[in-house]
């Protein structure tokens, strides 16, 4: 019994102990939960405070936008009103230039006023304070006003604006001014991003309302970008940032105004085919009064001023016709010739057509090809010292400025800018261009580019680079005897007239005139040997026409020999610190000069070495034939040389093509020492083409060797004892 009592007491203490542990854990749990609830309440309070601050900041932002818009309206109305009054006052006696400037001023004011109204309306839409003045609206008449308002912009971009809403189209119930705002925003957006084609406004009446659409033939909108179209102030990236509705405000505002009318807006687009913005409006059973017609100032047509010879030519690329007009006014009064383009693609086509400019003024945010990309492409063709590019934009963010310079811009201007500053920068860059152009007459820009330099100011003694090039030498035959018949002044005039014909030909075929020496010229072709061959042929074809002029004037025709060789060459700067010169150093130059000299020996016009022929992409397409294996003076190695005859007189070139088979069989027999058989083939050639001097040369050799014989070591190589 005592044992049972002890056991019962032990159990009681054990239960009591367990109960205390459970109670302790419960207290700990309750305290933890209480602390958790306290923290959650604290976090919730903080979130509420943050949300309230965000709502307050949002309200302040909307109030700020509304106040700024309100404050801007008065000066804008004053600008527009005074501009219209001045236009009316000077309508009869002002020059057409003055009227055009006033029209541009008024349109710029109205455009800014529209943007201010959009900002103001956006703020009012946020606080739901926009009240619609509903009444029946004639949509056909309304859209006619929209087309009239946007006609100058469409005309400048050569885009057709079409109103497909018929006069008998059912009327809508809505706020006339707000509907005008919707159409204006959509049409303006369509025009901005349409390069060519048309923008159409169409409508369809259905049982549930009127379905309207603004259709364009622009580039279309990618699927992944459409969700951003109606997000105001959306921070878009990449192409989106440079394309559709850059602020995101116009489209968002149009959508909200449509919703206020009880309708909806959506977009359908296919890349490469265009975009259509659709929206639905309620139909009115009543007829509307004609909308109040806005007074539109027609743009005064002014005949383009004649361009004076030698006028500086500036390409202006900007999608804003008003800004184009401002730049045109500033520059044309200074005597500059202005070429305007509204997008990057059209501007680039002018460069593709090899149109030359003295300067490019470039907006960054262009539809399609951006200003950055256009600048990059320009720099692939022209150094910054050759063609200055000035970026002009309303975006002054540092990363855009840096990017502009990285893409090759010379300077950067932020809108709005001072006319005096603008013209001063234009003059400064043009002066630098003229200085560099003067240097370029002595050191070609292409030579600088080969050295990796942008300007002659960067060149230092010892700069050099090794390249694989084709060297062209051209020289007038018997120039000494020709020069003896002329006075010194006539001699210089003759040389300048002759070389003035050759230089542009070489440049047109991507060559560099490295040196003029008396009656000769040395040129370098770094791109491909076929450029040098084409240049040599072009030179002789132009000389054929030049000789016709000389013969008509009673002067003797001239002959020019051209030699070409391909190989490694060092381009660089030699001299001393006080006197430097651009030079080329290589045996390739000497070999090319020897090729030119061989024309005198064989009576050919164009001779090229085997390395040049081997480097041609399509040798079968070139008209050439084997000429000789020679060992020129000062050279150890034997050279195989070829005649290119496409630049010969057309009749002679045709005869060489006809006799090519006989000629090649004669050459084959000649090197096999079968001189009698070779002689027969060369006689066949001369029967058809008695003027073939090379065939005569080999026929004489065959006759000599048949009489005298040849040594066992004879291999057909001809040694030249003269340079």
pLDDT value for 699: 92
Q: Is the pLDDT of residue 354 over 90?
A: no
pLDDT value for 291: 47
Q: What is the pLDDT of residues 217-238, one digit of tens each?
A: 988 888 777 766 766 544 444 3
Q: What is the band of 295 on the pLDDT scale with cuts at 50, 70, 90?
A: very low
316: helix, coil or strand? strand
What's the rounded Cα separation, in Å, for the pair 678 and 668? Answer: 8
Strand partners, 161: 199
Q: What is the band of 334 on the pLDDT scale with cuts at 50, 70, 90?
A: confident
pLDDT value for 308: 53
Q: What is the band of 396 on the pLDDT scale with cuts at 50, 70, 90?
A: low
pLDDT value for 626: 93
Q: Is the pLDDT of residue 169 over 70?
A: yes
Task: Report the sign of the C-alpha dihedral through residues 12, 18, 19, 21, in that order.
Answer: positive
CA proximity to 495, closest of 482, 509, 512: 482
289 versus 271: the higher-pLDDT residue is 271
Q: What is the pLDDT of residues 465-495, one digit of tens each?
A: 778 889 999 988 877 777 777 888 888 887 8
Q: Is the pLDDT of residue 302 over 50?
A: no
Q: List the structure tokens of 480.
A: 């000494």
Overall average pLDDT of the 603-628 stretch: 87
In the DSSP assignment, the letter for residue 237 is: -
Q: What is the pLDDT of residues 238-288, one digit of tens each?
A: 334 434 444 446 677 788 888 888 899 998 988 888 899 999 999 988 876
Helix spans in 170-268 (H): 176-192, 238-241, 249-260
Cβ–Cβ under 8 Å, residues 463 and 510: no
CA proximity to 178, closest of 128, 88, 117, 249: 117
pLDDT value for 144: 86
Q: What is the pLDDT of residues 440-452, one digit of tens each?
A: 565 666 666 666 6
- Whole-structure pTM value: 0.50
216 versus 393: the higher-pLDDT residue is 216
Backbone angles phi, psi at 360, to 5 degrees: -125, 125
Q: Is the pLDDT of residue 722 over 80?
A: no
Backbone angles phi, psi at 67, to 5 degrees: -70, -40
Q: What is the 3-state secondary structure (H, E, C) of 197-226?
A: EEEEEEEEEECCEEEEEEEECCCCCCHHHH
Overall average pLDDT of the 58-77 stretch: 61
Q: Is the pLDDT of residue 375 over 80?
A: yes
Q: Is the pLDDT of residue 96 over 70?
A: no
Would you tell me the crossing angle of helices 249-260 and 96-126 to the nearest 10 degrees? 60
Q: What is the band of 326 on the pLDDT scale with cuts at 50, 70, 90?
A: confident
pLDDT value for 307: 45
Label residue 636 left, alpha or beta by phi (over 0 means left) and psi (-120 to 50 means alpha): alpha
pLDDT value for 271: 84
Q: What is the band of 293 on the pLDDT scale with cuts at 50, 70, 90?
A: very low
pLDDT value for 478: 78
Overall average pLDDT of the 60-65 stretch: 62
Mean residue pLDDT of the chain comes to 79
50 versus 507: the higher-pLDDT residue is 507
What's the rounded Cα separation, in Å, for the pair 24 and 19? Answer: 9
Overall average pLDDT of the 635-643 stretch: 85
Half-sphere exposure of 427 (CA within 13 A, CB side): 9
Overall average pLDDT of the 622-642 stretch: 84
Q: What is the band of 213 on the pLDDT scale with cuts at 50, 70, 90?
A: very high
Q: Is the pLDDT of residue 199 over 90?
A: yes
CA proximity to 382, closest of 354, 341, 423: 354
Helix spans in 333-418 (H): 344-352, 371-381, 398-406
Overall average pLDDT of the 29-57 stretch: 77
52: helix, coil or strand? helix
Which residue is listed with tokens 């010169």? 581
The maximal CA–CA distance of the chain, rounded, in angstroms, is 158
pLDDT value for 244: 44
Q: List the structure tokens of 25.
A: 């854990």
Q: Is the pLDDT of residue 3 over 60?
A: no
Q: Is the pLDDT of residue 8 over 80?
A: no
Cis peptide before 416, with omega less than 30 degrees from 0? yes
Q: What is the band of 133 on the pLDDT scale with cuts at 50, 70, 90?
A: confident
pLDDT value for 490: 80
Of 56-60, 169-173, 241-245, give the lowest mean pLDDT range.
241-245
99 versus 42: the higher-pLDDT residue is 42
CA proximity to 377, closest of 392, 367, 365, 362: 362
């Amino acid at each position: 019994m005592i044992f049972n009592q002890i056991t019962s007491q032990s159990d009681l203490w054990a239960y009591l102990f367990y109960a205390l542990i459970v109670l302790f854990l419960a207290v700990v749990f309750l305290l933890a939960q209480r602390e958790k609830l306290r923290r959650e309440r604290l976090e919730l309070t903080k979130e509420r405070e943050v949300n309230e601050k965000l709502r307050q900041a949002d309200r302040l932002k909307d109030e700020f936008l509304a106040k700024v818009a309100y404050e801007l309206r008065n000066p804008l109305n004053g600008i527009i009103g005074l501009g219209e009054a001045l236009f009316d006052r000077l309508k009869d006696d002002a020059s057409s230039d003055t009227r055009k400037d006033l029209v541009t001023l008024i349109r710029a004011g109205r455009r800014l006023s529209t943007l201010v109204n959009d900002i103001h309306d956006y703020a009012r839409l946020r606080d739901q304070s926009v009240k619609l003045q509903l009444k029946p609206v004639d949509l056909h008449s309304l859209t006619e006003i929209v087309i009239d308002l946007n006609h100058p912009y469409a005309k400048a971009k050569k885009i057709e604006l079409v109103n497909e809403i018929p006069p008998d189209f059912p009327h809508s119930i809505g706020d006339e001014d707000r509907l005008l705002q919707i159409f204006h925003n959509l049409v303006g957006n369509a025009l901005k991003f349409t390069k060519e084609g048309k923008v159409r406004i169409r409508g369809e009446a259905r049982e549930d309302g009127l379905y309207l659409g603004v259709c364009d033939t622009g580039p279309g909108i990618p699927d992944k970008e459409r969700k951003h179209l109606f997000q105001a102030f959306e921070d878009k990236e990449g192409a989106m940032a440079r394309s559709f509705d850059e602020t995101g405000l116009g489209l968002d505002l149009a959508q909200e105004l449509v919703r206020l009318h009880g309708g909806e807006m959506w977009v359908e687009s296919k890349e490469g085919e265009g975009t259509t913005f659709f929206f639905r409006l309620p139909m009115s059973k009543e007829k509307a009064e004609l909308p109040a017609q806005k007074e539109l100032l027609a743009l005064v047509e002014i005949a383009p001023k004649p361009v004076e010879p030698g006028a500086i030519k500036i390409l202006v690329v900007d999608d804003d016709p008003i800004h184009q007009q401002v730049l045109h006014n500033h520059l044309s009064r200074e005597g500059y010739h202005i070429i305007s383009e509204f997008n990057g693609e059209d501007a680039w086509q002018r460069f593709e057509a090899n149109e030359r400019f003295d300067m490019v003024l470039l907006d960054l945010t262009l539809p399609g090809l951006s200003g950055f990309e256009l600048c990059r492409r320009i720099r692939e063709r022209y150094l910054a010292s050759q063609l200055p590019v000035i970026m002009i934009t309303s975006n002054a963010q540092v990363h855009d400025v840096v990017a502009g310079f990285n893409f090759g811009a010379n300077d950067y201007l932020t809108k709005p800018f001072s006319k005096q500053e603008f013209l001063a920068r234009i003059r400064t860059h043009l002066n630098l261009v003229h200085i560099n152009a003067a240097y370029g007459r002595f050191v070609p820009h292409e030579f600088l580019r080969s050295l990796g330099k942008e300007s002659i100011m960067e060149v230092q003694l010892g700069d050099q680079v090794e390249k694989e090039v084709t060297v062209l030498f051209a020289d007038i035959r018997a120039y000494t005897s020709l020069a003896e018949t002329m006075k010194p002044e006539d001699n210089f005039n003759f040389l300048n007239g002759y070389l003035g014909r050759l230089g542009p030909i070489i440049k047109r075929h991507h060559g560099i005139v490295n040196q003029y020496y008396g009656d000769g010229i040395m040129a370098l072709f770094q791109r491909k040997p076929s450029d040098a061959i084409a240049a040599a042929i072009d030179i002789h074809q132009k000389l054929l026409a030049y000789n016709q002029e000389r013969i008509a004037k009673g002067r003797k025709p001239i002959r020019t020999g051209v030699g070409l060789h391909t190989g490694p060459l060092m381009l660089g700067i030699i001299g001393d610190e006080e006197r430097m010169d651009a030079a080329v150093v290589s045996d390739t130059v000497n070999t090319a000069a020897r090729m030119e000299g061989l024309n005198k020996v064989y009576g050919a016009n164009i001779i090229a070495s085997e390395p040049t022929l081997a480097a041609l992409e399509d040798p079968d397409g070139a008209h050439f034939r084997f000429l000789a294996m020679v060992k020129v003076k000062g050279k150890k190695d034997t050279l195989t040389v070829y005649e290119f005859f496409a630049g010969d007189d057309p009749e002679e070139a045709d005869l060489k093509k006809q006799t090519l088979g006989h000629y090649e069989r004669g050459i084959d027999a000649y090197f096999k020492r079968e001189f009698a058989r070779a002689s027969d083939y060369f006689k066949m050639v001369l029967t058809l083409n008695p003027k073939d001097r090379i065939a005569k040369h080999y026929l004489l050799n065959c006759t000599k060797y048949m009489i005298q014989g040849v040594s066992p070591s004879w291999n057909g190589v001809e040694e030249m004892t003269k340079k």
